Amino acid sequence: MYFIAFHTPCQGVVDVVSGSASPSSPPPIYDAAMDTLDESIDAARSLIDGAQAITVLTGAGISTDSGIPDFRGPNGLWTKDPAAERASNINFYVGDPAVRRANWAQRAKGSLWANVDPNAGHQALVELERREKLHTLITQNVDELHQRAGSSPDRVIEIHGTTRKVACLECDYRDDMETVLDRVRAGEADPPCPNCGGILKSATISFGQSLIAEDLQRAERAAVECDLFLAVGTSLAVFPINETIKVAHQTGSKVIILNGEATVFDPIADVVLHAGISETLPRIVRAVA
């Protein structure tokens, strides 16, 4: 009854140098209604205090304060570099060696996320784990900033993969991105898989690729098993992972949404916070004194 559709071609995910296809987050808002925000923060803290198993879903908004750029804004990666957008489509990537060569060259230059560190939002979610309340952390981001902040890798589901690793499109080969970039810098413009000769690609889910069924099943299970679902920095517009919030709600979990702007799931949430994430998340995960 609660099954999330598997094998659905990914509708809104990206590859290349990127984080997520969500529209760019607005600047933190909420200065006029501080009392209301404070009340909402108190309500969220109470829910977190009372919860025993929290499943978190994060999106691009949590990484914005780390300087991860958006894609389609005026300074977006794709706006400035249409070739990067083509490389994010699996058909172009597989079908055109020139697209792959350009993509590897861009990565090898190291211009991608050179000095990107986790921010207070990522660190706040580590606190949830320290308080032994975190069931699972599902992220739509491909930047590994949750793990870099200190979240346990086995608690994190990277539903759209990671750009810090490379995978073969033909066999099970996986390795660190840097290992393959060293080959590019040494002269291999389009390095093939060392095991089978197949095409290598960053270990993200590109447009046209299916999500990994096992990851979706884990995410669904985490939505069913939690008693509180916390959505952070996501417009909840990307299917099918946005189904997890519905599943959590339908199976009796409380729901908190923290995002810079309204989402279509705000009406089912117990607490909605439209506020800056790196400022607000640390306040709501802190134990009530």
Cα torsion 103, 107, 112, 116: sign: positive
Residues in 60-99 that interact with Zn ion by CB under 5 A: none
Task: Tell me if 54 sits within 8 A of 135, measured CB to CB.
Answer: yes
Smallest distance from Zn ion to CB 171, Å: 3
Neighbours of 128 (CB within 10 A): 22
CA dist., res. 273 & res. 230, Å (int): 11
Question: Least distance to Zn ion from the beta carbon of 169, Å?
Answer: 8
Give pairs for 175-181: CB < 8 Å, separation 24+.
177/107, 177/202, 181/104, 181/107, 181/108
Burial (Cβ within 10 Å: 0-12, 13-18, ≥19) of residue 120 = middle
Please say which residue, 105 or 196, places its beta carbon nearer to Zn ion: 196
Of 76, 173, 215, 224, which one interacts with Zn ion (CB under 5 A)? 173
What distance in Å separates the CA atoms of residue 242 and residue 5, rounded to the nearest whole number?
11
- Asked if 168 touches Zn ion (CB under 5 A), the answer is yes
What is the nearest approach in angstroms of Zn ion to the Cβ of residue 174? Answer: 10
Closest C-alpha among 272, 198, 199, 267 to residue 232:
272
Q: Does 196 bind Zn ion (CB under 5 A)?
A: yes
Contacts of 178 (CB under 8 A, 6+ apart): none
User: 5 or 171, CB closer to Zn ion?
Assistant: 171
Q: Given candidates 29, 98, 171, 262, which one binds Zn ion under the rule CB under 5 A?
A: 171
d(CA 265, CA 51): 21
- The nearer residue to Zn ion, 168 or 216, going by C-beta atoms, is 168
**Residues 135-164, interacting with Zn ion (CB under 5 A):** none
Task: For Zn ion, give the closer residue by CB, 49 or 176.
Answer: 176
Q: Please say which residue, 193 or 219, places its beta carbon nearer to Zn ion.
A: 193
Give least dist CB 203 to Zn ion, A: 13
**Minimum distance from residue 181 beta carbon to Zn ion (Å):** 17
Q: How many residues bind Zn ion (CB under 5 A)?
A: 8
Of the candidates 122, 160, 249, 274, the residue annotated as catalytic is: 160
The answer to whether residues 95 and 199 touch, using CB atoms and an 8 Å cutoff, is no
Instruction: Give the nearest distance from C-beta 191 to Zn ion in angstroms.
Output: 11
Q: Does residue 135 carry a catalytic annotation?
A: no
* Contact track, Zn ion, 174-193, x by CB under 5 A: -------------------x
Choose, by CB under 5 A, the member of 28, 150, 198, 208 that binds Zn ion.
198
Q: Which is nearer to Zn ion, 171 or 262 (CB)?
A: 171
Interface with Zn ion includes 211 (CB under 5 A)?
no
Stretch that binds Zn ion, among 109-117, 124-132, 139-147, 194-202 (CB under 5 A): 194-202
Active-site positions? Answer: 160
Catalog residues that contact Zn ion under the rule CB under 5 A: 168, 170-171, 173, 193, 195-196, 198
